[in-house]
Structure 1
Amino acid sequence: MKNTFDFHTKQGLYQHIEETLAFYYPQAIDDTYGGYHEGYHMDGTLTEETAKHIVGQSRHLYNFSVGFELTGKTAYKQAAEHGITFFQRMMRDQECGGYYTEMKDGSVTDDKKLTYGHAFIFRAAVAAVEAKIDGAEELLADIYQVLEEKFYEPSAKLYKDEATRNWSSFLEYRGQNCNMHICESAITAYETTGQQKYLDQAVSIADQVTNKLASQSEGLIWENYDKNWIKDEQFNHGQTRDEFRAYGFIGGHQFEWSKLLTWLYIHQQDSRLLARAEELYQIGWDHYHDPRNGGIFFAMNPDKLLIDEGKSYWVMAETLAASALLHGQTGNDVYREHYEELFQYVQKSFIDSVHGAWYQWLTANNGVEDEVKSPSPKSDYHPISASYLIASYRGEDL
């Protein structure tokens, strides 16, 4: 049974990570075109999807790097090295710099430069450095240089969202989502390298998004903005499940920012960070928690009315991490109780007890929505990264 691990202990959380990795390995490895496969049926067999997206590739690299860090298994080390080679030889734009968004069967199918994708290479590169994977240091140096020199917008102290291949023009759209993931990557870069610039960067991004931008929405995190960083309530109207630029107030992002602020507080004891983390968590719980069927609803409109009552795997993972970290920093048993409730719900409803890994979406009544368990770019990065973070900071005392 893949859903009976003890979520209170490091050993249990590490067991869950290994069981999740086992769903993807070894079939994730593409020995023909390089990189990783990104589509998996319910039993872990591959779908016919052959596209390789920058985000899915990054998440697999992260997962296998963590797998090697935890287990020392040579197979995971080789899997991570396989991913770094793919980024350096295939996905990197040797002429213009940066990394392509998508490839298929060895050819580039989308050559734009997506900040969200580069943010995830940043995250994966840091994990690979921590695990001492060959080539990781070079990948980290390159991706950080691209982010700072090409995407960073000094006037806003945030990052632009998308560029053409040769960087000649940028999308006028701005979004909080890619900035959130750069913030997370910077925290892990600080932990891994000890370089203060990364922590300063993470704190700055967090302040801009959770205070300055949120002031346009009565303290909630809205997703989409125009080129002047003014809230845009029409962009992607109704498209709550857009992978990178979702419409609405996304419940999971209130919790994810709560997690990040608490994580920052661990390193920089500024009471304002913790207070804002608790505020966002409470907003998330009050508006999105489903007391009847369990779990967390997905999205609200600008009037704070629920418009998507689906339940997403990544939202659950981020809420669990926020609950665990907040309990650790505040001692408030409410967060521990939420952690207990949500992990029991996840084990019962989200994790496939036979084959492992999490279902991507459940309905409001907890029915499985999809026929494919893991389409691109899912890869179960969120459950693995959340479990790893919880184990790192909470361990045996939850």
Structure 2
Amino acid sequence: MSAADRDARARRADALLRLLPGSAVPGGFAWLDDDGRPTGRDLPLWVTCRMTHCAALGELRGSLASGSLASGSLASGSLASGSLASGALVEHGLDALLGPFHDDRHGGWWAALARDDLTPTATRKEGYGHAFVVLAASSALAAGHDRAQALLAEALAVQEEHFWEEGPGLVRESWDAAWTSGEDYRGANATMHTVEAYLAASDATGDDLWRARAGRMAQRVVDGWARANGWRVPEHFTASWEPLLEHHADAPAHPFRPYGATVGHALEWARLVLAADAALSADGGEGLPWATEAAVALAERAVADGWAVDGAPGFVYTTDWEGRPVVDHRMHWVLAEAVGAAAALAVATDDPVWDRRAQQWWRYADEHLVDHARGSWRHELDARNVPASTTWEGRPDLYHALQACLVRDLPLHPSFATALAVTGREHADR
């Protein structure tokens, strides 16, 4: 892509990062409204983790401009708003994860806290949220925050003890507060984000165990279930990992467990299997020989099923198992993951079609999703690309959009924060 494309991506990232300081509230990071202001909603663990991760990326990205990784603020001030720069926001996230979100009695992290008094309002220990604890800690450690080391060590110990299932090579969905009763349901969504988290943890710690486990999960879900299902990823499973293809047929627009094939997850998996392959191939490793073929197939199926299939531009949210749209609303995160998949495939295949598609999708994002006045992205549009809130109210966080702005300018391996840290060190050494 051209220098103009890179500059446009950088401007979009800058606009997103300027929203970070305003989302910091006592106890963590708040769910944002359409104006980028904190709402009164409970504080979800996943939002605080993802915003901490974004703050770490902002800090590392800022270090490229300042030439220093040691600075806790940005020399140019271009990514800071108000009195808090990215480094201070990472520390704020660490305060929350080491403080009110942490269950000091049983270990692990609460799924949500009340905005007013920070008491737990959702006490289950969720695999989805705990994956993002690992990601946030890994990114904070890559950005040079010493306290992240203890946080990451505990988060990985919790993964080892409670979430990782060695037999199937996958992760559990959730537990009760005391870790005595696990949920019978298993889900590919929590597994997918654990793949991302384990790759980041391996980069941050140097421990190859986590990237090996990421590869095992990707192989089971993508090379196994998705391949056997026409490259539409089964999302829901029994406790013994038998697919539940009709799960939530009565709740098709569910934000985390929708019915059918989730177009955005196929695109996200395409990027992640290529990242896992690159990580496992590093230093002469075997890698995942099937990864490129599978990533292309996943992305092509998602584009054929999901992009502009009802006469209007944009990706539909879900389809049935024949590829027919079920929920036709457009979610910002699906477009963001399409851009991420295209970036990864452009590198892995050297096929110019992926950069051309990414340019088409960026034009759509700039026209319909990016709020150029307020900096954030509209999280949901209806089938006519009019803002909607059936599934997502407000604009909770920045994670998908920010990574979409960064992914084309980074390698497949290492993961986002470590790649930015390496680039920053190289920049400083020049």
- The normalised TM-score by structure 1 is 0.91
Contact 2:307 2:316 in 1 (8 A): yes
Partner of 2:90: 80
Contact 1:352 1:358 in 2 (8 A): yes
Candidates 350, 357, 363, aligned match of 1:338? 357
Which residue identity does 1:255 align to in structure 2? L
Contact 2:246 2:260 in 1 (8 A): no
What is the CA deviation profile of residues 71-123 of structure 1, one whole-angstrom value per residue up to 9, with x for unaligned ones? 14622111110111111111111111111111102211111100000011111
Contact 1:39 1:48 in 2 (8 A): no
Which residue identity does 2:29 align to in structure 1? Y
1:47 matches 2:42: no
2: CA distance between counterparts of 1:346 and 1:332? 22
Partner of 1:365: 384
Candidates 252, 258, 262, aligned match of 2:270? 258
Partner of 1:387: 405
Partner of 1:236: 248
- For residue 307 of structure 1, give the secondary structure of its aligned residue in structure 2: strand
Candidates 36, 48, 52, aligned match of 1:57? 48
Displacement of 1:354? 0.7
CA pair 277-197 structure 1, distance change in 2 beyond 3 A: same
CA pair 372-178 structure 1, distance change in 2 beyond 3 A: closer
1: CA distance between counterparts of 2:3 and 2:382? 26
What is the CA deviation profile of residues 342-373 of structure 1, one whole-angstrom value per residue up to 9, with x for unaligned ones? 01110111000111110001112211114998
Which residue identity does 1:197 align to in structure 2? L
- For residue 28 of structure 2, give the secondary structure of its aligned residue in structure 1: coil
Number of aligned residues: 384
1: CA distance between counterparts of 2:390 and 2:314? 21
1:275 matches 2:293: yes
| Structure 1: runs of 5+ lacking an equivalent | none
Partner of 1:164: 176
Q: CA RMSD in A?
A: 2.2
Partner of 1:199: 211
- The normalised TM-score by structure 2 is 0.84
1:28 matches 2:23: yes
1:111 matches 2:123: yes
1: CA distance between counterparts of 2:288 and 2:99? 42
Aligned residues with identical type, % of pairs:
23
Which residue identity does 2:401 align to in structure 1? P
Residues 96-245 of structure 1: matches in 2 within 5 Å?
96-104=106-114, 105=116, 106-214=118-226, 217-245=229-257
Which residue identity does 1:18 align to in structure 2? D
Displacement of 1:215? 5.2
What is the CA deviation profile of residues 164-215 of structure 1, one whole-angstrom value per residue up to 9, with x for unaligned ones? 1111111100100001001011222233333211221111110011122335
- For residue 393 of structure 1, give the secondary structure of its aligned residue in structure 2: coil
Partner of 2:371: 352
- For residue 184 of structure 1, give the secondary structure of its aligned residue in structure 2: helix
CA pair 390-115 structure 1, distance change in 2 beyond 3 A: same
CA pair 109-324 structure 1, distance change in 2 beyond 3 A: same
Candidates 5, 8, 11, aligned match of 1:8? 5
Candidates 72, 75, 92, aligned match of 2:102? 92
- For residue 152 of structure 2, give the secondary structure of its aligned residue in structure 1: helix
Residues 299-318 of structure 1: matches in 2 within 5 Å?
299-318=318-337
Contact 2:370 2:376 in 1 (8 A): yes
Instruction: Select between 271-280 and 217-226 the one with higher mean Cα deviation.
Output: 217-226
